[in-house]
Amino acid sequence: MEQLTQDPRFAATTFVVIDFEGLTPAGRPAEPIEVAALALRADGGRLVEAGRFESLIRPPADVPVTPLDTAQTGITAALLADAAPAAEVMARLDANLTRPPYRLVAHHASTEAGMIAHQAAHCTILAATPLLDTIRLAKAVAPGLGSYSLDNLLGHYGIAKPVDRHRAMPDVEVTAQLLARLLAQGCAAGRWRTLLELDMAAGLQPKRLPPATPEAEQNALF
């Protein structure tokens, strides 16, 4: 990874690996119930931890935690009862972002981009930050895999699957390990040496939601 860390733009960037766990109510956007973020910066030819954040998030009262949700994540309604709502949690996370520039990193990053876009009013820094998708990075350096799911890539790269898989921080930690493997493999293959080349291979722009139409605004009032 040394070639990347010699790129001034890469060396100056804080990479924030982020993951949400969420509920998917019918007919409306997903609601986050947990978020975790791990900040990484280049140091000595590798990425090292520069900070972390995690929090449960209380969903709206009309979005229940179902047995299927609990089976997937282990998160129950009781665990969320005393958690702060999304607006407060996302504002606290955003307030920690004091050392730009940033890149968000996520596995299937469009999902995280969508979650952030729906909370954009409370996390303006996150909502304006470009993303890197570890699925796209993996496809660039390991073409032909049958699946690019996180579990399959952990197995492919010999990264231990966490006991609490599908909880936000354990998923963030293994995604950070996967990121390091993918960056090193891509450097060794001459696939990328600069942040610009990473952006070209796996970058996503922040998601922007369309403005509400007058009809939608009126319907929201009744």
Q: What is the pLDDT of residues 142-175, one digit of tens each?
A: 999 999 999 999 999 999 999 999 999 999 999 9
Q: Across residues 119-145, what is the average pLDDT?
A: 97
What the block records as the tokens of 20 is: 């949400």
The helix (run of H) or strand (run of E) holding residue 196 is: helix 195-202
All structural domains of the chain, each given as residue ranges with its CATH number in brackets, are 2-219 (3.30.420.10)
CA–CA dist 22, 30 (Å, integer)? 6
Burial category of 134 from C-beta neighbours within 10 Å (exposed 0-12, middle 13-18, buried 19 and up): buried
Answer whether 35's CB lies under 8 Å from 58's CB. Answer: no
Q: What's at 27, amino acid-wise?
A: G
CA atoms within 13 A on the CB side of 60: 9
Res 68 pLDDT > 60: yes
Burial category of 81 from C-beta neighbours within 10 Å (exposed 0-12, middle 13-18, buried 19 and up): exposed
Closest Cα to residue 181, out of 19, 46, 42?
46
Torsion of CA 74, 164, 126, 180, to 10 degrees: -160
Q: Which of 20-24, 70-74, 85-89, 216-220 is predicted with the least confidence, judged by mean pLDDT?
A: 216-220
